[in-house]
């Protein structure tokens, strides 16, 4: 009796074995790719849901989505940037927009020995941090600088962009000096080579105090990086209001995009209190409150 039972069991195993082994093999072979695809799909879904909730100003819900995305990709720069910024909104409930750099810190420019400025004032780059590159989604980005009132000895302004600190300039232009204090901007012209994705570029901005002695220049420097993000791109396409777009870009860590949108809105609507509040909140969030009320000057455009 026992022998018959064992034979029956063995027969059943032999019948099922090929199918079971084949099925298991197929599953094992397909599982890694399937898991990667499912994880990517889930990550993208969480990020887009987070941006949607951010646009709706539901920051607690947005934080939950971004945290779920971060669990799928520990150390992901996009998810971590969104988490930092959404948490800052939750802490400052009256803040309309803000930005938290991954590496906070700012190095102020030193006063020039060439006496370019009155009262020992200095120029200030409008960047969130001097310890890391600012991010943009634009191939031809815009750079902003605050220039105090200059003396008559100032000869001009110079902007230089390089692929790295030691290479020849990709773009170099000199502009007339401004006579009043305010914020100037330099946009990489469309006829110049576009930035490449994932590469850091170095820029310098100089106030030429004495053209015969360039070592007296006031000198600022920084870095910028072009990044592609399909999730924020999808949300931007669905967002018609510029202020909402600025919030989304800031949340995603794209300082250049957010600042450029608000600067353009300020130019178009100089007396709009809401736009001014967004502008002030963004600058204050990175300790640039001293320039929030400074005018946007009509400088600087390429002369070529």
**pLDDT in tens for each of the 304 residues of the chain?**
434 444 443 334 333 434 333 443 343 345 667 777 787 899 999 999 999 999 999 999 999 999 999 999 999 999 999 999 999 988 866 789 999 998 887 655 444 444 576 666 778 999 999 889 999 999 999 999 998 887 666 778 899 999 976 678 999 999 988 888 899 999 999 999 999 998 999 999 988 877 777 777 778 889 999 999 999 999 999 999 999 999 999 999 999 999 999 999 999 999 999 999 999 999 999 999 999 999 999 888 765 4
Q: Which residue has the tokens 């692929």?
A: 163
206-261 pLDDT, tens per residue? 888 777 777 777 788 899 999 999 999 999 999 999 999 999 999 999 999 999 99
Among the listed residues 132, 137, 134, 157, the one whose alpha carbon sits nearest the alpha carbon of residue 147: 157
pLDDT at 206: 87
Q: Domain boundaries in the chain?
A: 2-91, 118-291
Q: Supply φ then ψ for residue 226, to 5 degrees.
A: -85, 130
Task: Note the CATH architecture for domain 118-291.
Answer: Sandwich (2.60)
Q: Which residue has the tokens 């300020």?
A: 266
Residues in Cβ contact with 162 at an 8 Å cutoff, skipping those fewer than 6 apart: 168, 169, 170, 201, 202, 203
Kindly tell me the sign of the dihedral angle through the C-alpha atoms of 269, 206, 301, 141: negative
């Amino acid at each position: 009796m026992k022998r018959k039972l064992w034979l029956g069991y063995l027969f059943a195993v032999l019948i099922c074995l090929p199918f079971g082994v084949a099925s298991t093999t197929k599953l094992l072979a397909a599982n890694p790719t399937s898991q990667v695809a499912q994880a990517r799909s889930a990550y993208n879904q969480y990020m887009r849901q987070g941006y949607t909730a951010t646009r709706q100003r539901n920051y607690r819900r947005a934080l939950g989505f971004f945290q779920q995305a971060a669990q799928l990709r520990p150390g992901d720069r996009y998810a971590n940037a969104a988490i930092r910024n959404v948490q800052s909104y939750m802490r400052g409930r009256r803040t309309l927009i803000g930005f938290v750099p991954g590496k906070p810190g700012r190095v102020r420019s030193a006063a020039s020995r060439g006496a370019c400025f009155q009262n020992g004032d200095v120029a200030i780059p409008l960047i969130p941090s001097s310890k890391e590159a600012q991010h943009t989604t634009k191939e031809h980005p815009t750079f902003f600088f605050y220039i105090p009132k200059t003396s008559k000895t100032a000869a001009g302004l110079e902007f230089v962009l390089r692929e790295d600190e030691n290479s020849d300039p990709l773009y170099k232009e000199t502009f007339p000096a401004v006579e009043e204090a305010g914020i100037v901007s330099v946009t990489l012209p469309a006829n110049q080579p576009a930035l490449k994705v994932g590469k850091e570029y170095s820029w310098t901005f100089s106030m030429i105090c004495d053209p015969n002695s360039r070592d007296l220049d006031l000198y600022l420097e920084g870095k910028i990086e072009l990044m592609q993000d399909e999730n924020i791109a999808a949300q931007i396409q669905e967002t018609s209001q510029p202020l909402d777009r600025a919030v989304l870009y800031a949340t995603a860590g794209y300082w250049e995009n957010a600042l450029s949108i608000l600067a353009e809105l300020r130019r178009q609507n100089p007396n709009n209190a809401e736009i001014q509040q967004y502008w002030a909140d963004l600058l204050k969030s990175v300790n640039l409150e001293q320039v929030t009320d400074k005018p946007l000057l009509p400088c600087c455009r390429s002369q070529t």
